[in-house]
Amino acid sequence: MRVLQKLPLATGLEAGPANRYSLAMLNAAFRKLFYWLPPVGWAAAIFVVSSLSSPPKTPGFAMGDKLAHLLVFAILALLIHRGLAQERGLSPARARWIAFLITSIYGALDEFHQLFVPMRTVEFADWIADTLGAAAVFLTCFARPEARTLNDAADEPG
């Protein structure tokens, strides 16, 4: 916010008392963008890859594609939780559950979307792997009530 106060000509906002509310709103908008752009971008990347008729090859061992699903959707769950953890009035437990549910539902929608992609098929096992990725994040990182959020850990020095 100090940068905005020093650059009134560039932003059109002056640092006076009348515009403090505007600066706070601008700061809140940047904060939301910072926390919500990564999960939206990751979900878009998943959509793009699942739209390909011949997706990138996964590791050459049995169940390699399921492992890829698990990892990709675990990352999505982490990013969604990170965004939800910043929302006011949302308890950590509720943020964990919502992140889990959104990720699982997005996995189901991703599989449904593949019905309309040439040379792609819907696999129930892929959705299970997607949901297991979300569950792994939920259970490993956030299941304990005393567990810290990602942002708490990031704020500590060291």
Confidence check: pLDDT of 68 > 70: yes
| pTM attached to this predicted model | 0.75
Angle (nearest 5°) at CA 45 between 77 and 127: 50
Mean pLDDT of 123-138: 95
Amino acid at the residue 53: S
- Write the CB contacts of 25 (distance below 8 Å, at least 6 apart in sequence): none
- Write the CB contacts of 142 (distance below 8 Å, at least 6 apart in sequence): 81, 92, 96, 149
DSSP letter for 22, please. Answer: H
Q: Confidence band (pLDDT; 50, 70, 90) for 136?
A: very high
Joined tokens for residue 92: 């950590």
Joined tokens for residue 141: 């990182």
Q: Confidence band (pLDDT; 50, 70, 90) for 22?
A: confident
Confidence check: pLDDT of 97 > 80: yes
pLDDT at residue 42, rounded to an integer = 98
Q: Determine whether 100 is exposed, middle or buried from the number of CB atoms within 10 Å of its CB (0-12, 13-18, 19+).
A: buried
Decide: helix, strand or coil at residue 139: helix
Amino acid at the residue 84: L
Mean pLDDT of 27-39: 90
Q: Confidence band (pLDDT; 50, 70, 90) for 24?
A: confident
pLDDT at residue 158, rounded to an integer = 44
- Residue with the larger pLDDT of the pair 117 and 151: 117
Confidence check: pLDDT of 26 > 60: yes
pLDDT at residue 28, rounded to an integer = 81
- Residue with the larger pLDDT of the pair 23 and 153: 23
Q: Confidence band (pLDDT; 50, 70, 90) for 7?
A: very low
